[in-house]
Structure 1
Amino acid sequence: MLRYLFNQPRRRDEGIMGEAMKALNHYLHIQEGRVLKERSALQTQETDRSTLSLFIKAGGFIRALDELEQSQYAAEQFSLLVNKRYIEEMDEEELDNYHRHLYFYKNALLRIFSILDKLGYFLDEQLRLETEKVKQQFSYFTVLRRMHERRPDLPMDQQLYQIKESFQPSMTILRKERNMETHFMNTELLDDLLKAKMELFPPNQTAIENVEDKLRTLGQGFEMVCRTLTTAFNGLSQENQSNVRVRRRRAELYKQ
């Protein structure tokens, strides 16, 4: 959608993003097949509502990932139009491009954790982990711990944990930035920021951050989200098919 701003062709979903989109669409395809089979049986309005809710929630991840990638892309493109290190040295056009870069960078940053938190609630619901019994308001990482306690038999349990560990350094940096963005009035965070500014930058000049390093870290966050979604939804698809086989086997035994 945003590539037209830079005269670029439409994105093709390849690489890690293509894998995530494939996993999401495969999961939706399985759910669609299940619904069509159940249509032949008597369904209540509540069942229909639950099915529709599942499709909306699962389908929402496709749109959310698309918007994350677009924001990351736009942040990278506008950063290429910023060459000065200090705000005071920028002309009006470069300053505008810097602010555009920041806008899309922050949008991508917030979407990383938004997707993960939504995934946490989705996994909790689909796997019946009852994470709210441990913590009323929980994050994806809380659900990950809960999954290990309740469903260590799931192959994706260890896989998701390994992904979390692999990206821990970058995600820690991004989490601190997210906290600064969403809780800026936190006095401890503000004191740390002011101290860093005073130590690193000369007076009367406003230096911008290391844009290349920040985009590199953001890219790590994007990769973490893609790999997490791929693993989670492939795992959910396997769990769904396993449950179908169990129900089929029980039905056969009942007939006997």
Structure 2
Amino acid sequence: MSDQSIKPEKITKPIQLLGAWLAGLFSIDSCFLFAVANLNQGSLESYALTIAAIVNVPIFLIAVFLLQTKFRPELQEDSYYSTYLNQKTNEKVVVSKTDAHIAELSSIIAGLKAKIEKTDDQGLQENNVIKHLNIGINSALPDLEEVKLKLKEAGATSYSLFGNGDMPTNRVLAMSPRLSDKAQHELIGFAQQIGFTHFSYYEPGGDEDIEEDALLGGYGDPGRAIL
């Protein structure tokens, strides 16, 4: 038995593990059967060791079968196993033409969507006329703070205050006639939303030096009514 002993330092290859298992199975079952032969027949221990010796064989065979099938590459020597890993990790990925076309179209669609969103944002900024106008607010308006808030919500970035302290007779929007039709239309619509009932025009550079493009709460002739 000494000549057949297992020396762990001699096991240097994975395939040699199977041989060690075989020797281990033989040794364990031999010990079990030797113990059974020395125990009283019919005792519980003898039955348990006999069953264990029998069950060990199919369990071992199943384990060997798995190693020889599912894990066979892992039982190769290091040089062969490294070659197997290289071939496995360097495997080429083949993409069909249909998948490639779908990926390309998806990329093009994503780019067009981004351009459309950018164009829409620029369009909204360009269409916001109030943002680019210099608007004055009469400081005597009773709802001055509300008008400021509404003007900010409309896109205005700044405003100026004017007035002599007297509240105007009518809620009049006074505009420069040099404003474009689009700007006038937007201003009149905004004025209507905040409760202004009339609009008129003034000439900058006249008796008064007016720098603003429009005045919310102008004095003088109420001009035309806002429908």
Which one has more relative contact order, counting CA pairs under 8 Å at least 6 apart?
A: 1
Q: Which has the higher helix share?
A: 1
The structure with the largest alpha-carbon Rg is 2
Larger proportion of strand: 2
* TM-score, scaled to structure 1: 0.22
